[in-house]
Amino acid sequence: MTTYSASRLQGISVFVQAVETGSFTAAAHRVGLSKSAVGKSVATLEERLGVRLLDRTTRRLSLTAEGADFYQSCLRVIAELDEAESRAASRRREVSGRLRISLPATFGRQWVMPVLCDLARQHPELTLDVAFADRSVDLLEENIDLVVRLGDLGDSASLSARHLGFQRIVTCGTPAYFAEHGRPTSMDDLTNHDCLTFAQGGHVFPWKLLDSDGRTVNVKIKGRHTISDGDALRAAVLDGLGIGQFPTWLVADALRSGALQTALAPQGVEGSPIHALWPATRNLAPKIRATVDELLLAFTPIAPWDKDSA
């Protein structure tokens, strides 16, 4: 059986940190070593393997072909070590270890982070590693433990999921805008209003509206302005630039204060679902189970942003 010294394992860890941070200086801050010690550790690893793993420049590190292959292998090894730790923690029934979680940016900051902070306070052995991304991350490829996803689940055959609710969509504007331009009461009225639309990746999202039979339909709106950031879109509507559609979690405070008012369907229409997803496994780590349980407790049966209007 091969014996792995602490320095050998540290060399792999230092190499991974150097790749992820892009510099020996940043890696040194992460692992608590000097920059020269990090460089020496990587050099020793390259000497032992007999290949060059990193190309160094004065500005940044880049992986060689051999380095990229070795890096992926290191990630798999680290993931297996994390899984082994999780299984051990599962036997102890302790919520501990590093939780790597990816969240949609605005929703994650506003509604998920408070849940995670409470969870971290309850379990001092739990370490949060939170990333924000408004894209569909690949949990297995990117070594993510858990993701909160708004919208379609996509290809989730290798994932487990829990439904956390639905987004509720409202059409709204400021009282001043409605006083000047009137309040739309039907889809046809929208042609007489300054509509602000949301776009992402070059795709302009349709509005969700109720037809004459009360069914939710997707309607392509000819917007006067198109904005690709939810916070900026809300700010523009609050500034009186026009009317827009939003999930209630994004405008709940403005609706409660009266800064924004709804039009068309006052209670809104059902939008896309919200899920928590994680890699399917027979031995679910306590850190994932506890996080999902806390999210379910916080978001169901009534989402916190909708409670005052339920």
Q: What is the pTM of this model?
A: 0.67
CATH of the domain at 13: 1.10.10.10
Please say which residue of 36, 64, 83 terminates a domain: 83
Residue 310 in domain: no
pLDDT, residue 248, reads 95
Co-location of 139 and 195 in the same domain = no
Count the Cβ atoms, other than its own, within 10 Å of residue 119.
Answer: 20
Residue 207 in domain: yes
Co-location of 107 and 73 in the same domain = no
Between the CA of residue 255 and those of 26, 164, 220, 228, what are the distances in Å? 44, 23, 25, 22
Co-location of 189 and 249 in the same domain = yes
Co-location of 173 and 224 in the same domain = yes
Residue 65 in domain: yes
Contact 266, 184 (CB under 8 A): no
Co-location of 77 and 212 in the same domain = no
Co-location of 76 and 215 in the same domain = no
Co-location of 160 and 176 in the same domain = no
pLDDT, residue 197, reads 95
Co-location of 262 and 187 in the same domain = yes
Between the CA of residue 303 and those of 103, 109, 166, 168, 262, what are the distances in Å? 17, 16, 9, 10, 19
Co-location of 295 and 149 in the same domain = yes
CA atoms within 13 A on the CB side of 239: 8
Domain of residue 62 covers 6-83
Residue 1 in domain: no
Domain count, the chain: 3
Co-location of 160 and 292 in the same domain = yes
Tokens of 197: 């639309």
pLDDT, residue 310, reads 47
pLDDT, residue 86, reads 67
Residue 296 in domain: yes
Please say which residue of 59, 83, 107 terminates a domain: 83
Co-location of 53 and 118 in the same domain = no
Residue 291 in domain: yes
For helices 286-299 and 65-92, what crossing angle results, to 10°? 80
Q: Classify residue 9 as left (phi > 0), alpha (psi -120 to 50) or beta.
A: alpha
pLDDT, residue 1, reads 44
CATH of the domain at 190: 3.40.190.10
Between the CA of residue 208 and those of 37, 59, 134, 264, what are the distances in Å? 57, 48, 21, 11
Please say which residue of 83, 117, 137 terminates a domain: 83
pLDDT tens series, the chain, 310 aa: 455 566 677 788 889 888 888 888 888 888 788 888 888 999 999 998 999 999 987 777 889 999 999 989 888 888 877 777 766 655 556 899 999 999 999 999 999 999 999 999 999 999 999 999 888 888 888 889 999 999 877 666 678 999 999 999 999 999 999 999 999 988 889 989 999 999 987 889 999 998 878 888 999 998 889 999 999 999 999 999 999 999 999 999 999 999 999 998 777 888 889 999 998 876 788 999 999 999 999 999 999 998 876 4
Strands (E), 88-231: 97-103, 126-132, 146-150, 159-173, 195-200, 203-204, 207-210, 216-219, 225-227
Residue 50 in domain: yes
pLDDT, residue 3, reads 55
Co-location of 51 and 112 in the same domain = no
